[in-house]
Structure 1
Amino acid sequence: MQAGSRQPALPGTAKADTLITNAHVVADRDTEYPGGWIALTTGRVAAVGHSFEAPPQAHHTIDAGGRLLTPGLVNTHHHMYQNLTRSYGPAVNGSLFDWLTTLYPLWAGLDEENTYLSTYVGIVELLMGGCTTSSDHLYVHPRPGLIDAQVAAATELGFRFMAVRGSMTRSEEDGGLPPASVVQDHDTIMADAERLVAAYHDPSPGAMTRIALGPCSPFSVSEKIMVSSAEFAAKHDVRLHSHLVEDHEEDTYCLVTYGCRPVEYFERVGWASDRAWVAHLIYPSDAEVARLAAAGVGATQCPSSNMMIGGGSMDAMKMRSLGLTVGLGCDGSASTDSASLWMETRNAMLLGRLRNGPASMQARDALDIATRGGAACLGWDDEVGHLRPGACADVVVWETHPVALAGALVDPVEAWLRTGPARAWHTMVAGKLLVQEGEPVAAALPDVLRRHRTAAAAIQRLA
């Protein structure tokens, strides 16, 4: 760990919008400010400094009370609509394929209203767990307008959001897993992708909303939609996302259907590029990982979901040693049943140590994956995942109960993951407080939760 060097203050007599003082500031990997401060203005980090350096004046000052302050965590794989079927009894003990085939008929009930509600709840839950940027992979489209509903919820809350326009084209009738009611044809998918990018994708610095394309998986989409999505992404300069090498059954499926293993198929359809990131990547060979890394592909580890389903999990530190960019994801609420990036970061560290020994992964490694790694997967690493001057003002001040922290006197970053549970005390996105003293700043939340309960009961056919 190195202490950060002095950063320039605001020019002249200008005041910062917000100054957070009395914090252990983790500005970037290997750059920390014990007892430090951070100044934010116009949605950006203006300056960071030590306790012995005079901070700039500010219109609003927050005393962090000695707490840990980090960049906002970045969630690189989620299915927010699935919180409508959280802990759904008939699906909780099956394999991945059993779980999917049980839940697909329920998800056929998605519409704009319950998609908006589930996205709103999902984002608030992420904010409470210290997440300030998230992608979301919505691949079930029984009705039009679902991505629009997601963008509306994210915009209303002020959350940094990458909506992944997912798709499925291969139903049970075509040898896939999902029912015909939740798949779409190639032309419908690509026309909607064109519309969504034109309406919502913002490539400019400081963007709050971006669009990516996400054919669901090798066993649920046609080769044609994979190729078309890659060509579209290159033309419009957007990102690509899919599930890959999540289950041994995927190997069998790809060998029978495509005559090759999943990674080779991924390469064959034009996805091996630096605009793509994939979820899970549990069972590739070292040679396959090296090829993906050389192509610039990123990968998401979903620790809690993988453990919940019992299907194995990525060796994150080994992947990184092979050159692969690795981020973290909550995955769908129906498998994980929780959307806390703090918990995913802790579980990533514990899985790494379980697999490779106690010296193999430290808290700072896990934090780096949850911030810089996630931002790189989403192509947002120039502005998100660190707190260097000029970065987006996406900041989390963490709270752990004093009883849990008793005796943790030396290293606040290790204590953050080794004790706990921790929660976001303050979460800021673009310099705006969205969680304040542990509570979401969302006036509509009580009404949304009431409506969400009604929607969840209806989709589970309990109404």
Structure 2
Amino acid sequence: MSHGPATSESPGASGGPGTKGGPSTNGGDARPQPSRTVIEGAAVVTVDAPEPNTSGTGTEYTEGHVVIEDGRISAVGPGAAPSQPGPVRRVDGSGCLLTPGLVNTHHHLYQWATRGYAVDATLFGWLTELYPVWAGIDEELTGSAAAAGLGWTALSGCTTVADHHYVFPDTGGDVLGGVVSGAERIGVRLHAVRGSMDRGQSAGGLPPDSAVEDTESALRGTEDAIRRFHDPAFDSRVRVAVGPCSPFSVSGELMRSSAELARRHGVRLHTHLAETIDELERCDREFGCDPVDYAERLGWLGEDVWLAHGVHLSERNVARLGETGTGVAHCPSSNGRLGAGTAPVRPLLDHEAPVGLGIDGVASNESGRLGDELHQALLLGRARYGPDALSVRDALWMGTRGGARCLGREDELGSLEPGKLADIALWDLDGLGHAGIGDPVAALALGPLPRLRRLLCGGETVVADARLVRESERDLTAELRRSCSSLAAKGVG
């Protein structure tokens, strides 16, 4: 079978589509660059089932191929790819598992500068220690922390990140712009959640007054972020969501007005909810209801909303989230680190509520790798509900298609289907850590996190052979160290 002109990428090759500063793939001559990329020889798990079920998560091939053209998937199937017209770049996927890129539904990238603080505290104690430190962040720090954090998540298979940023110091400059620039440096998709807090300690809230905005400033800042950064296009690299922080740091007025603002602009809504027992008790004491009822009272349930954590939900709460299509970002490692508990994932899935996975800030999940959350979600789900509660494919579904649904991008991301964006992870299972595990999905979800042979975002290479292609990991590390030292030197904490 003739495949036409091709440039081959062996398992040890570097560079690839979209590579900046990498080796030339055409030897410097005048031949046209390949218009298509073919990945073949790998086990392919498409995750094309709309819901996880007893038969798995969709179509799978023991050995298959994916064809990419103009940033989208044009074909998926078994065996070798059919003949392609024109120049073709071929990637050898032998010994690998090919999945959709992972989708991180909840993060706080600025917290990369404050790892290792309050390591034995519960959530409220942890926040009390860290809020004064975060009051010293600025645009330079958020840019460095975002680039480092997004680079690290990319190395764990993540192509899309929802970052919830809610700290805006008066002297910090354009801190949200710093986050956006960090995403551009790494080459992944960003959902920039413009957070806010207007309820400081003097108003009965948890954060110090120096870390909050007034209500009108928060709303203006949120609307400005939508105007500056939100791109609703199908292949958008940056979208903006509206994200007041939590009921114990935000007034009811800001919560209600933020929901109205988001719907006026057609963007999504995100907040922390039902994370700890302390929060449940506080909501009952202050508002006479539980957090889910309080959220619904303020217009915060619906298909355009996803909530972070959702650990402490009653059966009635779970049913209501399913009825309204409200999503949940499940953050198992962070919730375990802070002793908050674990979300009722199995009941949420049974009620068809969208469930995705989140890293949360690495000040409460120092690992910072979304690939690890597949493993953690699986173990904690079974620990809470029994050995049949979650399958390895349920975990992968939540980390891909479930996350895309939470972010309102299921038509674009989260599965390997023709017409969808070519956000793809090629996991190398050809080594000691996974040898002998017959099921490649089990190897991914139960074994050590595999190295990436390739990570593509919109068909462009973000990771090649376990290395970032746009930025040096060594340079990112040095830059982050300087930012951490600068923050510590301010002595804000």
TM-score by length of 1: 0.93
C-alpha distance in 2, partners of 1:426/1:53? 18
CA positional deviation for 1:443? 3.3
Would you tell me which structure has more helix in proportion to its own residues? Answer: 1
Unmatched segments (≥5 aa) in structure 2: 1-32, 48-56
Q: Moved runs in structure 1, 4+ residues, more than 4 A?
A: none
C-alpha distance in 2, partners of 1:24/1:101? 47
Equivalent residue for 2:431?
402
Equivalent residue for 1:18?
37
Query: Do the aligned residues in 2 keep the contact of 1:127 with 1:424 (CA within 8 Å)?
Result: no
Query: Do the aligned residues in 1 keep the contact of 2:273 with 2:309 (CA within 8 Å)?
Result: yes
Counterpart of 1:231 in 2: which secondary structure?
Answer: helix
Alignment partner for residue 131 of structure 1, among 151, 158, 175? 158
Structure 2 residue identity aligned to 1:67: C
Structure 2 residue identity aligned to 1:281: G
Structure 1 residue identity aligned to 2:262: A
* 2:246 pairs with 1:213: no
Counterpart of 2:46 in 1: which secondary structure?
Answer: strand
Counterpart of 1:22 in 2: which secondary structure?
Answer: strand
Paired-residue identity, %: 42
Equivalent residue for 1:269?
298
Equivalent residue for 1:5?
none
Structure 2 residue identity aligned to 1:446: R
Q: How does 1:12-411 map to 2 (within 5 A)?
A: 16-28=35-47, 29-51=57-79, 54-56=82-84, 58-88=87-117, 91-142=118-169, 143-400=172-429, 402-408=431-437, 410-411=438-439
Equivalent residue for 1:449?
477
* Structure 1 range deviating more: 315-324 or 207-216: 315-324
Counterpart of 2:130 in 1: which secondary structure?
Answer: helix
TM-score by length of 2: 0.88
Counterpart of 1:335 in 2: which secondary structure?
Answer: coil
Structure 2 residue identity aligned to 1:435: V
Equivalent residue for 2:11?
none
Unmatched segments (≥5 aa) in structure 1: 1-13
Q: Give RMSD over aligned pairs.
A: 1.6
Query: Do the aligned residues in 1 keep the contact of 2:187 with 2:470 (CA within 8 Å)?
Result: no
Counterpart of 2:428 in 1: which secondary structure?
Answer: strand
CA deviation profile, 1:188-212 (whole Å, cap 9, x unmatched): 1111112111111111111111000
Count of residues in Structure 1 that have an aligned counterpart in Structure 2: 447
Query: Do the aligned residues in 2 keep the contact of 1:15 with 1:56 (CA within 8 Å)?
Result: no
C-alpha distance in 2, partners of 1:253/1:39? 53
C-alpha distance in 1, partners of 2:201/2:486? 24
Query: Do the aligned residues in 1 keep the contact of 2:185 with 2:470 (CA within 8 Å)?
Result: no
C-alpha distance in 2, partners of 1:99/1:461? 20
Report the CA distance shift for 1:55/1:169 in structure 2 as closer, same or farther (over 3 A).
Answer: farther
CA positional deviation for 1:163? 0.1
C-alpha distance in 2, partners of 1:95/1:319? 25
Query: Do the aligned residues in 2 keep the contact of 1:167 with 1:184 (CA within 8 Å)?
Result: yes
C-alpha distance in 2, partners of 1:257/1:307? 27
Query: Do the aligned residues in 2 keep the contact of 1:72 with 1:385 (CA within 8 Å)?
Result: yes
Structure 2 residue identity aligned to 1:450: A
* Structure 1 range deviating more: 137-146 or 214-223: 137-146
C-alpha distance in 2, partners of 1:119/1:15? 32
Equivalent residue for 1:3?
none
C-alpha distance in 2, partners of 1:462/1:221? 27
C-alpha distance in 2, partners of 1:123/1:250? 30
CA positional deviation for 1:451? 2.3
Equivalent residue for 2:465?
437
